[in-house]
Structure formats: C-alpha cells, structure tokens
Structure 1
Amino acid sequence: MSERTLIKNLSASADGDITVSGWVETVRDQKKVQFVVLRDESGAVQLVNPRSFGDDGVEVPSEIATAISGLSQGTFLTATGELKHDERVKLGGVEIKLAGLEIATVAIAETPIAADSSIDKRMDWRFLDLRRPEQNLIARVQTTFEHALRTYWIDNDFIEIHTPKLMASASESKAELFEVKYFEGKAFLAQSPQFFKQMSQPAGFGKVFEVGPAFRADPSFTSRHATEFTSVDSEISWIDSHEDVMTLHENLLVAALTAIKEKHGDEIAALFDVEVTVPTTPFPRIPLAEAKRIVADRGYEVPRHDDDMDPEGERQISAYVKETFGHEFVFLTDYAASIRPFYHMRHADDAGLTKSYDLIFNGVEISTGAQREHRIEVLEAQAREKGLDPEELSFYLDFFRYGVPPHGGFGMGLSRVIMLLLHQANLREVTYLFRGPTRLLP
C-alpha cells in the first residue's frame, strides 16, 4: 500500500498519485460523475469518479462506481488516485480523481444520531458524535492547552507529580466522596490531589504540577459539573501571599491562550464564531466584599446568607470587568473563612478572611487558589474550628511537624476552561466521555 497522506497536507502536496484514508462523510451518486467527501482526523477532501460510457451512451460498469454506489456514511476506507489542485473546488482547493478504493469496514447505513439530536442522545453515541469537525477541534485545542501549560511548568523548573486516586480518608468534604470496596476495608476516590501535592512541599520539591482525574460525589445536574473530571493543579514553595499564586496562574493561562490562538485561532473563528483573546496581565483583582457591592450597584443582590458569590453574581461581576477593563478574567479574593477549607491561611489582621481567590472566566468560576496554612498549631486549631478531628487527619498533619516552607497553589477544571473558551453551553460538549449522576456509559 502507498504511504498514507493526511488530508490537511494535500494542499501542500504536488499533483500526482496520492493515497488517503478516512471515513465517508457524504456521497453524491450522480448519473455522470460520483463524488465522495472523505474525512480523516485532519480534514476532508472530495473524491471524484467520472462514470464511463460506451459509444452507445450506455454506462460501462466499473468496480469503483459500483463500490461508491454502495457506500454508507461512516464507512472507513483507503482511496488511491490522482491529486489535482483546482481553486474552483470549495473543499480545500484540491480533489482526488479515484483510481482505487479499499474498504476497511462498512458502516450500518442509518446512523442513530443526527445534527439535531439531543445532547443526551448524542452522548449515548459519543463515538459517532466525536466525528464532527467541531469535536475534533475541541480535542486538539485541549491538547494544545495542556501542552502549553506543561511547557511553561517545565521551562520554569517545576516537577511533575502523579498523586494516588485511592485514599484512606477524605481530603476535603466527606459528603462529596465516592466510597469503594478495598480488599477487606474501604477506600475513597480522591476529590482532589490537595493533600498529596502539599506533601511535596515538606519534601523539598519546591514547585510541582499535576494534570489528572478527580472525583466528586456531587448529585449536580448543572451544565458545568461532572462527577469525574480532569483537574489541573500546581503548588509552589516560598510564597509571600496568594498574590504569588495568582501571578503563576495568570502567566500559565497567558501562555496557554497564546498557543491556542496561534495554532487554532482561525479554525475556532470558523467553527465556533469565537475570537480567542490573549489576556493582558495582571488580571483584575477584586476583593469579594467589593465585588458584591459592585454587583449590587448593577441591580443584583447576592443572597445575604451566602458568604460566597453565587452564579448570577459571577456573571454580573464578569460583565462589569468586561465593560470596565475589557478583560475576560477576574480574580475574586479574600473569601470568608466560613466557606473555605481549614488549610487556607487567614489574614493576620482579620481572621475572618482567607488569603484565597476564585478565578472567574467569562462569567463562571474555573479555579480556586490560596496560600496554605503551614504552621501546625494554627492548622490544628482551624481544623477543630471546622468540626474536624485532627486524629483523623494525622497523616496530613504530620507533613507540618517536620518543617515545611510557606506555600500555596490552585486547582482548575480543565473541561470548564475549554467550555468557556469556546463559548459552549455545556461541559458535556467538551468532555471526551462525560460522567454525571446518571451517566456511566459509554
């Protein structure tokens, strides 16, 4: 078999013999000429087969013509033929005049989903839904995003770690844990790598990162929650405040969005009608109390009993930042200790506030970060204040009994960032295989 050429490389290839492989997207079986649109992981091309006729005007049957007439959408095949550049061809300015077809697998003629199928129906047949060019681009954008983050980390001497996803006890809220049988006992699926990435700090690793799965037993049916998701985490030593964590966070996002804009900006504009904007630094920073006042002035009151910022408040403060600063990101800082974990450091002059932040992107929270409390006596006191038994946290608290530097970090949901970047309405659209309270298949 001739060497396969990716369809995206056809425009740069010379006219002549060529081999491409992919799946059938459409067939136009006309009387005088047959057209097949073949798509692979990189793009689509038009295959052309002029029918043959004798002097009497009667068609001379051919194997290729017969094969094309029997093609069903989704059939995978290899096509050989002559590549021709022709600017009149709308699909990439090239086409292939067929010389041969080799069918790898035949698809069932009638597909179970269509362009107007519901999202749940499309999730049932996700492997077919993923054939859409938009889904292919989403996967490539995510790949570029992760690669850019990893490049930044490695170029800045971070260490990559892989923390366990089976835990003996809760890392944060027991209410959001999945319990699993573990030999003669039980274990829990990790809801975050929080404790273990902090363990790297007394180990002297300094700056670390991880991209890995996390699990939340949260029965939420919103457009932005999942029970299994990919968490992007980083933790750094020798910080002065959460400001150092925010600086790291914004630098990472600038690097990632720069790479995405350079590599995929035109495709994103064409398929999603979205212009990728590389944000300026520093990102706007607004203390939560001030943000609530700004939102109130815009006509929305965050419920008084809520120390947090609710989803509508996030949308309102994002709109304000967009109008005032022309920015898609905003750090909301200084959250109340009442709604933050026991390991968040508190302000020396106001123990009711933590040195923490939420990062809001296009109206939705994508991350929480903070300086961690590293003084063992303070950490134990804050755990008790939260109703936690230090004895149950002994493995974690031991980290702080043998010396640990001031440190902090963040955790960020990967799919949520991609969803907001591409202006998608639902996390399921940008997750390869979504897991929610009622979905474990496919």
Structure 2
Amino acid sequence: MISELSALDDGPVAVAGWVETVRDQKKVQFVVLRDESGALQLVRPRPEGDDAISTAISALTLGSFVAVEGQLKHDERVKLGGIEVKVDALAVASASEPEQPVAADSSIDKRLDHRFLDLRNPANALVFRIQTTFEHALRTWWVEHDYIEIHTPKLMASPSESRAELFQVPYFETTAYLSQSPQHFKQMAQAAGFGKIFEIADAFRADPSFTARHATEFTSIDAEISWIDSHEDVMAMQEAVLVAGFQAVAAKHGEEIERLLGLTVQVPTVPFPRIPLAEAIRIVAERGYIVPRADGDLDPEGERRISAYVQEEFGHDFVFVTDYASGIRPFYHLRYADDPSLTKSYDLVYRGTEISTGAQREHRLDVLLEQVADKGLDPAEMESYLEFFRYGVPPHGGFGMGLARLLMLLLERPSIRETTYLFRGPNRLKP
C-alpha cells in the first residue's frame, strides 16, 4: 500500500492504484498515483526517442488503474509525502475513458449518478472509514457488556410502525411489508429472555420527503434492554455507547478529519443534558420562537433552537428531550402512572437535529390492549406482536438511531446523501 512506503528503505517496490494527475514534460514525466491508503508521485526521466514506458505514460487517462514496479527513493523535496518511485515498469490494468463525468464542482445529484467516482475523493471516502470505526466501537461496547447481536427480518406480515409509511411487496399469495423498524422483534427478544440486544441494519420508510435528513432506505442502529426502572436507563446506555463511538473516531481518524475536513471531533461528556418536552417548548418560546405544530412536538426549527440553548447553557452538542405526550407517541410507549398523558420516552437531538427516539415500553398486556384501542388500531392486526406479551415480558426499553444522520452532523456534511454509500430517496433508485 502507498501508506506503507515511507517506512521502507530505498529500493525496489511494486504499487498499484488509479491515475490522479499526469505531467507529461519533455525531459521527465510525473504521475500522481492514488490507492485507498494515500497518494504517491511516480517519476520517469524521458529517454531520447520515446520508449514503451514513456509512450504508455503519455497515453494515460485520468482514473485508469495501473500497476507499477520501480525504485523507491526518500527525498524531502518531494511535497507528496517525501518519497517518490522511479518507474521501471508500468502496466495498465484497466483504462479509463478520457472524459470524466464528474468534477469537484459537480452537483450532488451528478456526483451520486457516478458515486464510484465521487468516492475516489479522499474526503468523501473518509466518511466510510469513520463509519466503520464508529460501528465497530458500538459493537465492541455492546459485546463487552454482554449484549446479543440479532438480525431481524426485513419482510414483515404487518406494520411495525405507521401504516402510512409502508412499502408493500408482493409475497407469493399475500402481501408483505418492508420493515420500518425492528421494534417488534427487539421486544420479542426481551420476551425470549435475551436481556440485552442490538442490531445495525437496514430499515425502510415510504416517506416522500426531500429534505437533507430523510431517506427511504437507511441504516438503523437499535438496542433494547430488560429490567429497567425507566427510560433513564436507556438514555444512560445510549450516551455511554455514543461516547465509545466518538472516542474511537477521534483516536483513529482525528488528524485525518482535521486535515481533509477541517474539523475537530468533539467527544461528548456524560451525562447529556435532559429537558422535558414541555420545558423545551417553553424555553424556545421565551427565546422568541413559538413552535407551530398542532401536535405539540418540536419542529426542525424548535430542535435547532433548543440545541442552541443547550450549547449556550451547558456547552453540549447533545440533549435528550424527554416526557413526550402520549398522543404523539406509539401505543407501545409506557405512560406515567401519575400522568397517563405523558410517556417515559425521549428524542435525542444532536447539533439541532433529532437523531434518535427511545422509550421504556409498555410490557403489560392489559394496558397494551387499552393503548391499542386508544390509538384506534385494530387488535387483530397487532396479534402477532401482542402474542408474546401473553406469556410474560420483563420491563424493558430501547432506542433506534439513524446512522447516516448522525454522521452527517458529526462531519458537518450538508446532507445524508454525503454519508450514505448509495442513497435511496423518492426519486433515486440508481446506482
């Protein structure tokens, strides 16, 4: 790999990658070669009367993949890493067409049309190295704390959330639905006695939104735990696992993030601030913004305003907005015994955008049936979900969190299109 060359002594080496630039001069030829680990300057003094190698270099097109053998030389005058390779042999593994369809100033839609070229940009590729480190850190924290990783089905017989956002799929003689959430199966694991589980997997929402933070297919990070006293236990777990992820990213990629993106990774302190929803709405109203939503929830501007308040008062990028009204929460959220109008639930807002919803779940069948009726749902459609509550389920709760949305905010990208490998939205099914 190119990144390994600086540690080697001068001498013969073999490298491979794609051609980033060519300077074809009369007396010497330079090529910048890049692989997934870095970039390298190739140099070839031009002989009197071109030979096969100089002719091949002159014919190179940007983006072509080539393999090179040559002599490594350390030279501090070389701006690109202080090393270069003098070419002895060059073979074109795969030639690129002369005209590139995307450029640095291309629109995001144009770049997504040719995502494989867009991701050759080191800053864009870095996102997915960070994603890998972040996911691995989360998994490591969970495994070290005795969680079980599960893989839930994405074809479902009934909705897991609102029927309004379902993708229907023909399924032999019946209809299946693409999973909006592993919610039911996470809770089934609590009935099975698994105790603590997590999953990182695809989820689907038939939501015709064209905002920077919505997608029709996305990666959902989910966890569920048994024997909790309240949603506070879920929040404590979520903030701990997030800190582990941020610490891993800062340690492994901090310098590269500063160099390529001009950002410093801020590892959050714990505990994250907690503000009840009613108080959050009051705070933003006192600061000059009346949330217009009829259902009493924060809108995107309200989220930005409460985040600004938390940053000013606590110097924190995260805030748990808690105690949501039962009218705007799903039937399975547990309600306060002394005030059934409120649920033991929360949204986690990061840098002005909601990234996660969590709650303690209702585990008592009789109460669940009441709350199903209260929501105007048909118990018959919920039967496969309600069944495992008929045989005993411990008090439990959990959260779901969008991976691309979190990375977008962490890396200050303008859209989750930048932090999704291949984005899916209402008008994008390719590539």
Category of TM-score, reference length = shorter chain: over 0.9
Confirm or deny that 1:147 pairs with 2:133.
Answer: no
- In structure 2, give the amino acid aligned to 1:51: R
Confirm or deny that 1:300 pairs with 2:286.
Answer: no
| Paired residues of 1:25 and 1:38 also in contact (CA < 8 A) | yes
Counterparts of 1:264-279 in structure 2 under 5 Å? 264-279=253-268
Tell me the distance in 2 between the aligned counterparts of 1:87 and 1:327: 43
Confirm or deny that 1:31 pairs with 2:26.
Answer: yes
The aligned residue for residue 113 of structure 2 is: 124
Tell me the distance in 2 between the aligned counterparts of 1:359 and 1:332: 6
Deviates more, 1:194-203 or 1:289-298: 289-298
Tell me the distance in 2 between the aligned counterparts of 1:371 and 1:87: 60
The aligned residue for residue 3 of structure 1 is: none
Counterparts of 1:248-267 in structure 2 under 5 Å? 248-267=237-256
Tell me the distance in 1 between the aligned counterparts of 2:300 and 2:237: 25
| Paired residues of 1:307 and 1:338 also in contact (CA < 8 A) | no
The aligned residue for residue 12 of structure 1 is: 7
Tell me the distance in 1 between the aligned counterparts of 2:57 and 2:82: 22
- In structure 1, give the amino acid aligned to 2:11: G
1:423, CA displacement in angstroms? 0.2
* Per-residue Cα deviation, 1:361-388 (whole angstroms, up to 9, x for no partner): 1111100000000010111100111110
- In structure 2, give the amino acid aligned to 1:117: S
Counterparts of 1:57-136 in structure 2 under 5 Å? 59-136=48-125
The aligned residue for residue 302 of structure 2 is: 313
- In structure 1, give the amino acid aligned to 2:58: S
* Per-residue Cα deviation, 1:191-240 (whole angstroms, up to 9, x for no partner): 00000011000100000000000000000000000000000000000000
Tell me the distance in 2 between the aligned counterparts of 1:403 and 1:150: 28
Tell me the distance in 1 between the aligned counterparts of 2:313 and 2:243: 20
| Paired residues of 1:368 and 1:412 also in contact (CA < 8 A) | yes
1:30, CA displacement in angstroms? 1.1
Tell me the distance in 1 between the aligned counterparts of 2:73 and 2:36: 21
1:17, CA displacement in angstroms? 0.8
The aligned residue for residue 56 of structure 1 is: none
* Per-residue Cα deviation, 1:14-33 (whole angstroms, up to 9, x for no partner): 21111111100111111111
Q: 2:192 aligns with which of 197, 203, 218?
A: 203
SS at match of 1:352: coil
Q: 2:126 aligns with which of 125, 130, 137?
A: 137
Tell me the distance in 2 between the aligned counterparts of 1:73 and 1:362: 39
1:7, CA displacement in angstroms? 0.9
SS at match of 1:353: coil
Tell me the distance in 2 between the aligned counterparts of 1:410 and 1:373: 14
Q: 2:232 aligns with which of 226, 240, 243?
A: 243
Tell me the distance in 2 between the aligned counterparts of 1:47 and 1:279: 43
Percent of paired sites with the same residue: 68
1:114, CA displacement in angstroms? 0.7
1:13, CA displacement in angstroms? 1.6
The aligned residue for residue 55 of structure 1 is: none
The aligned residue for residue 328 of structure 1 is: 317
The aligned residue for residue 360 of structure 1 is: 349
Runs of 4+ in 1 over 6 A off after TM superposition: none
Q: 1:219 aligns with which of 208, 218, 235?
A: 208
Distance 1:154 1:188, change over 3 A: same
| Paired residues of 2:293 and 2:299 also in contact (CA < 8 A) | no
* Per-residue Cα deviation, 1:332-388 (whole angstroms, up to 9, x for no partner): 000111110000001111111110000011111100000000010111100111110
| Paired residues of 1:370 and 1:409 also in contact (CA < 8 A) | yes
- In structure 2, give the amino acid aligned to 1:13: L
The aligned residue for residue 36 of structure 2 is: 41
- In structure 1, give the amino acid aligned to 2:4: N
1:60, CA displacement in angstroms? 2.7
| Paired residues of 1:201 and 1:404 also in contact (CA < 8 A) | yes
| Paired residues of 2:295 and 2:328 also in contact (CA < 8 A) | no
The aligned residue for residue 360 of structure 2 is: 371
Stretches of structure 1 lacking an aligned partner (at least 5 in a row): 1-5, 53-58
- In structure 2, give the amino acid aligned to 1:170: P
The aligned residue for residue 50 of structure 1 is: 45
1:304, CA displacement in angstroms? 5.4
Aligned length: 431
| Paired residues of 2:227 and 2:395 also in contact (CA < 8 A) | yes
